[in-house]
Structure 1
Amino acid sequence: MTAPLYNTRILRLAATIPHHERLPDPMASAEKRSPVCGSRVTVDVALDQAGRVSALGMQVRACALGQASASLMGAHAVGRSLAELAAARDALAAWLAGERDAPPDWPELDIFAPALPHSARHPSIRLAFEAVAEAVAQALARHEDAA
């Protein structure tokens, strides 16, 4: 028997998204949208001197899977570098696509195992990870251009 796609853990995460307010003065922002379901995630970031996320703000308009993914990303993104965030984004995409057996090295992403056979759900799960990596890359590029 397979696990249900929407379970208590996913619904609990979807209801408790950290950093759920947009930042008033972000260094960069990125918005990602799933054309399949219309889910949308906007991420604002500020970086510290080392280029790590020091502040995060999100606006999440997504299904429960997208919200749960945003919750997991938001809970662990502060203090991370672009390299770490891009690695998590890429590993998540590869795992969802069946290109790797193990879930990414990011807390609790194994909760999406029941969604693996549902490829139409994958874009909404990836949104927050894609948006945060893009926003951090933009912030770093702006900082380099200003220097």
Structure 2
Amino acid sequence: MTAAALNWKLVIDTQDAQPLADFWAAALGYEVENPGELIAHLLTTGALPEAAVTEHNGHRVFRGYAAVRHPDDPYDPFTGIGQGRRLLFQDVPEPKTVKNRLHIDIHAEEAEEGGRDALVARLETLGATRVEEFDKGPAGHWWLMRDPEGNEFCVA
């Protein structure tokens, strides 16, 4: 008996979920999820207190949470929740203190003008910083970078 493939999302601890979701949406070409319809329903029914909601970029959002999804993947139009490739950002009280044990690798499109170098430069304009360049010959060539909150990721 073979088990069915599981759905998953990558959850990233943050200090400020909304701006970090904006960064990653722009970096990956993803869409920030809009839970506005769900929030309106929950507020109307009394299932959600007003204190659990804030506003960001003109939309009502859950305080301390944000998510981005691949634009081609299905999503629930009522909740705004993606049903495919997805990153969820959640605020936590403690700051990041050590190296990530899990990270995202972003691959430059071969056809993209300037390839990896152009992608690294674009990510810097969004708030990422270069940390170190690695050239391992046939094993690969990539940049280690940090997002605006210091989470490491690689660009190959």
TM-score by length of 1: 0.25
More helix by share: 1
TM-score by length of 2: 0.24
